[in-house]
C-alpha cells in the first residue's frame, strides 16, 4: 500500500461497515453477572502509530471491562521485575483449549501452558503478589502507559469473585501442586481486580503502544517499558496464545499479534507501525469479540498490514 495511509478514513470506513452488523450475532459474556448487563450493540476502534498519531471511530471513548486484555499488562509487569525467572512457573505453548480449562494442569503438574490462559494469568498474579502491592502496581503501570488515571470497576471485581468458581478451582489446583507461593485469596483478589480494569479503545491503543516501539514508553518516549527482546517475546506470545483456542485461526485470517478479553476488547500490534484496539461486547464461541475480529480482518484487508 502506498504511503501515507489515511488511518482516520480507514477506521471511519470500518465503523460504517460494522455498525449495520451490530446485534446480529454473538452473545455478551453472561457467566460474570456484571458483564451480562452491557448492551451488545456497541463498537469502537482506535489506533496509535509509533510516531504518536491517533485515530478512532465509533464508541472508541467508551470505557469497558478489559478482562483478559489485562493479562498482557500483568505479563509485562512480571517480565520487568522477574526477567527469565518468570518462565520457571509458566510455559509458552498454545493450549488449544478454552481459556478457563483445567485439563492440562494435571498432566503438567500445575504449570500452566502460557501466561494468557486463566491458569497462566493466575500464576503471574501470584508472582506479582510476592513482589508487593500487585493491585497498586498494575494500576500505576496502566495509568503511566495510558497517560491518565486508570481504575478498577469494583462492582465487576466483586461479581467475578462471587461467581469465579472455575478460577477458584484453577488456583487451588495449582496450589495443590505447590506452584503458588501465596495464599489463594490474595492471588485471586489480584486476578479478579486486574480483569475489572476499565479502559476505552483510545486508552488501550495508547497503553499498548510500547509493543510497536521495541518497548519504548508510549507517552514518555525516553523510558523503556520492556527491552527489545522482551517486547518481541510478548508479541510472539500474543500471536500464538493471545486469543486462546482461536489463535491459529486469528494468525491465519488476521496475521497480527492480538490479545482479547471476554469484555469484548482486543488489542492488536503491527510491530514498528501501530497498535490498534477494538471493542464490541458480543462474543463468539471461543470468547473473542465477534465484530472485533471482523473489524481487524477489515483493517488488515484495507491496509495490507501484517507481520508476515
Q: At closest approach, how far in Å is the CB of 222 from ligand GLN?
A: 33
- Give yes or no for residue 287 binding ligand GLN (CB under 6 A): yes
Q: Is 148 annotated as a binding residue?
A: no
Q: Is 124 annotated as a binding residue?
A: no
Q: At closest approach, how far in Å is the CB of 122 from ligand GLN?
A: 9
Contact present, 101 and 80 (Cβ < 8 Å): no
Q: Is 262 annotated as a binding residue?
A: yes
Q: Is 143 annotated as a binding residue?
A: no
Residue 49 or 159 with smaller CB distance to ligand GLN: 159
- Give yes or no for residue 160 binding ligand GLN (CB under 6 A): yes
Integer CA distances (angstroms), 196 to 39, 63, 192, 226, 284, in order: 17, 11, 6, 24, 21
- Give yes or no for residue 241 binding ligand GLN (CB under 6 A): no
Q: At closest approach, how far in Å is the CB of 67 from ligand GLN?
A: 3
Residue 69 or 211 with smaller CB distance to ligand GLN: 69
Contact present, 217 and 225 (Cβ < 8 Å): yes
Positive or negative torsion for Cα 269, 270, 272, 273: negative
To 10 degrees, what angle do helices 165-176 and 118-131 make?
70
Residue 254 main-chain phi, psi, to 5 deg: -115, -45
The residue number with the shortest CB distance to ligand GLN is: 68
Q: Which residues contact 79 (CB under 8 A, 6 or more apart)?
A: 86, 226, 230, 233, 234
- Give yes or no for residue 278 binding ligand GLN (CB under 6 A): no
Q: At closest approach, how far in Å is the CB of 119 from ligand GLN?
A: 10
- Give yes or no for residue 99 binding ligand GLN (CB under 6 A): yes
Q: Which residues contact 167 (CB under 8 A, 6 or more apart)?
A: 100, 118, 122, 160, 188, 191, 192
Q: At closest approach, how far in Å is the CB of 262 from ligand GLN?
A: 4
Neighbours of 132 (CB within 10 A): 10
Which set of grid coordinates corresponds to residue 40? Answer: 451488545
Q: Is 68 annotated as a binding residue?
A: yes
Contact present, 44 and 279 (Cβ < 8 Å): yes
Q: Is 167 annotated as a binding residue?
A: yes
Alpha helices, DSSP H only, in 22-133?
A: 33-36, 70-82, 103-107, 118-131
Q: For residue 107, how far is the Cα from the chain centroid? A: 27
Residue 72 or 254 with smaller CB distance to ligand GLN: 72
Q: Which positions are annotated as active-site residues? A: 68, 71, 191, 244, 262
- Give yes or no for residue 118 binding ligand GLN (CB under 6 A): yes
Q: Is 100 annotated as a binding residue?
A: no
Site residues (CB under 6 A) for ligand GLN, limited to 37-96: 67-68
256: nearest Cα among 231, 293, 289, 225: 293
Under rule CB under 6 A, how many of the chain's residues touch ligand GLN? 11
Q: At closest approach, how far in Å is the CB of 22 from ligand GLN?
A: 21
Residue 255 or 261 with smaller CB distance to ligand GLN: 261
**What residue ranges bind ligand GLN (CB under 6 A)?**
67-68, 99-100, 118, 160, 167, 195, 261-262, 287
Residue list for the binding site for substrate: 68, 118, 160, 167, 191, 244, 262
Residue list for the binding site: 68, 118, 160, 167, 191, 244, 262
Amino acid at each position: 500500500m502506498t504511503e501515507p495511509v489515511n488511518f482516520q478514513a480507514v477506521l471511519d470506513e470500518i465503523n460504517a461497515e460494522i455498525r449495520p452488523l451490530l446485534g446480529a450475532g454473538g452473545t455478551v459474556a453472561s457467566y460474570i453477572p456484571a458483564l451480562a448487563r452491557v448492551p451488545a450493540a456497541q463498537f469502537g476502534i482506535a489506533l496509535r502509530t509509533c510516531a504518536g498519531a491517533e485515530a478512532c471511530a465509533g464508541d472508541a471513548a467508551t470505557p469497558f471491562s478489559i478482562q483478559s486484555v489485562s493479562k498482557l499488562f500483568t505479563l509485562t509487569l512480571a517480565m520487568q521485575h522477574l526477567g527469565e525467572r518468570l518462565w520457571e512457573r509458566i510455559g509458552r505453548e498454545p493450549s488449544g483449549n478454552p481459556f478457563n480449562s483445567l485439563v492440562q494442569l494435571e498432566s503438567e503438574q500445575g504449570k500452566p501452558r502460557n501466561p494468557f490462559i486463566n491458569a497462566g494469568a493466575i500464576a503471574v498474579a501470584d508472582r506479582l503478589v510476592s513482589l508487593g502491592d500487585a493491585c497498586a502496581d498494575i494500576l500505576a503501570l496502566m495509568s503511566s502507559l495510558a497517560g491518565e488515571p486508570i481504575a478498577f470497576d469494583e462492582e465487576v471485581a466483586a461479581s467475578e469473585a462471587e461467581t469465579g468458581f472455575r478460577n477458584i478451582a484453577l488456583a487451588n489446583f495449582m496450589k495443590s501442586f505447590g506452584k503458588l507461593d501465596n495464599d489463594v485469596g490474595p492471588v485471586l483478589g489480584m486476578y479478579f481486580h486486574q480483569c475489572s480494569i476499565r479502559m476505552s479503545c483510545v486508552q488501550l491503543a495508547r497503553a499498548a503502544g510500547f509493543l510497536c516501539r521495541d518497548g519504548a514508553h508510549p507517552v514518555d518516549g525516553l523510558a523503556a517499558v520492556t527491552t527489545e527482546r522482551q517486547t518481541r517475546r510478548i508479541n510472539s506470545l500474543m500471536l500464538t496464545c493471545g486469543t486462546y483456542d482461536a489463535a491459529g485461526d486469528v494468525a491465519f485470517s488476521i496475521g497480527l499479534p492480538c490479545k482479547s478479553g471476554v469484555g469484548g476488547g482486543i488489542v492488536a500490534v503491527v510491530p514498528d507501525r501501530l497498535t490498534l484496539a477494538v471493542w464490541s461486547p458480543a462474543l463468539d464461541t471461543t470468547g473473542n469479540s465477534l465484530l472485533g475480529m471482523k473489524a481487524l480482518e477489515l483493517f488488515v484487508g484495507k491496509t495490507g498490514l501484517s507481520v508476515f
